[in-house]
Structure 1
Amino acid sequence: MELTSRKPNRLKNYIYNRNGSYFITMCVKDRHEMLWKPIGARIAHPHEQTLSDIGEVVNTAIQNIPTIYSNVRVDKYVIMPNHLHMIIKLYSHGDDGGRLIIAPTISSIIRLLKSYVSKEIGFSIWQKSFHDHIIRNEQEYRDICDYIDQNPQKWQEDCYFTKSSDHS
């Protein structure tokens, strides 16, 4: 049996602790829907969402990122049934006695988030690695913010949507 090699997700020779904004997507293993479930096709709120207990742990982990890393901000995020999207902003600053505080790498932030969730719930839910996109300009940033905002309403059109997702 021949092993398939994974295509690297990161840009070669790019240092992922540079100041800037990064669009991150993390997926649940095998696309299992465990972060929230659609409530159903309601007339007034057809795409209302409720986080599961695991989804709440993920939410807490995301909200804790800026507390753990003083030079990291989570500008926007959405937790979907089997994945999440977020914009992480890294910036270096010199408020530690004049020393420059270097931002952690995106990989170390994601590793900590995944580890926290796994420890809290008692098992790992995450697919290996994650997807990233370096946000290059203000228009791209706005477009990604719109995508994140609209993601729950467009769930059935999402590339991570599975037929078992259709609860309506």
Structure 2
Amino acid sequence: MNQKLPNRQSIRLKGYDYSKEGLYFITLVCQNRLPLFGKINNGVMLLNDAGKMIELEWLKLKIRFPNIELHEFVVMPDHFHGIVEITDAVSNVGAFLVGARNEAASHVRVPLVGTREGQAQSIADGRAQGVAQTTVGSIIGAFKSITTVEYIKGVKEQDWQAYQKRLWLRNYYEHIIRNDGAFDRISDYIRNNPANWQKK
């Protein structure tokens, strides 16, 4: 690993309400730093099938949690960075429970972060019945759970690289984004992460 991740606190801020409206910078790291999601070539992240699955499941969080917005993100060989925004701390009704499915699929268009503005992808996803409170923890818990299940399927059915014990490290890094300057700096960091991969 040639790139140092920025110094962030992995322990949640004591007393902070992580269901509050706001912007949160999230980093998830693969167990044992295994490069499971692709490789960097000339400063460009080339996603393998597992990496494409990670990207897709991140985008689908908008369906499971209707009161969030997804901003800049990047899937790296052995970790993931993303900015998630909770837009309405009160409007949690309608959030979808992880793993539950309904007969009718819902087609939702969400922006592909990292591509030219205006491009979008149509995503079909089964809707779940029930209510889940939207917190940073519930969003990341859902993402880790879903991607782990999908990755296990890939190992069994598509011969993806196996991992030991768990896909992701147990904890995750988060940073509360408090102003526009911080948002711009973090967005630039995420956007430039592949190009800076081999810089010391």
What is the TM-score when the length of structure 1 is the normalising length? 0.78
Please give the per-residue CA displacement for 1:56-110, whole angstroms capped at 9, x wherever unaligned. Answer: 11111101011111101111101111001000000117xxxxxx41461111111
- Aligned residues of 1:65 and 1:73 also touching (Cα < 8 A): no
**Equivalence for 1:113:** 143
Distance (Å, rounded) in 1 between the aligned partners of 2:181 and 2:171? 27
State the secondary structure of the residue aligned to 2:149: helix
For structure 1, the residue ranges without an aligned partner over 5 or more in a row are 1-6, 40-45, 94-99, 159-168
Is it true that 1:57 corresponds to 2:53 in the alignment?
yes
AA matched with 1:101: S
Offset, 1:38: 2.2
Partner of 2:57, secondary structure, is helix
CA deviation digits over 1:36-71, x for unaligned, max 9? 1123xxxxxx22221111111111110101111110
Q: Confirm whether residue 48 of structure 1 aligns to residue 44 of structure 2.
A: yes
| Cα distance between partner residues in 2 of 1:8 and 1:153 | 25
Alignment match, 2:168: 126
Paired letter, 2:13: L
Aligned-pair identity (%): 31
**RMSD over aligned Cα, in angstroms?**
1.7
1:37 aligns with 2:39: yes
Give the Cα–Cα distance (whole angstroms) in 2 for the partners of residues 8 and 81 of structure 1: 20
Q: Whole-Å Cα distance in 2 between the matches of residues 38 and 9 of structure 1? A: 30
1:77 aligns to 2:66 (yes or no): no
Partners of 1:50 and 1:8 in 2: how far apart? 28
DSSP 3-state at the match of 2:198: helix
Structure with greater helix percent: 1
Unaligned 5+ residue runs, structure 2?
1-8, 93-132, 153-162
Paired residue secondary structure (2:139): helix
Matches of 1:68 and 1:32, distance apart in 2: 28
Moved over 4 A (4+): none
Shift of 1:22: 0.3
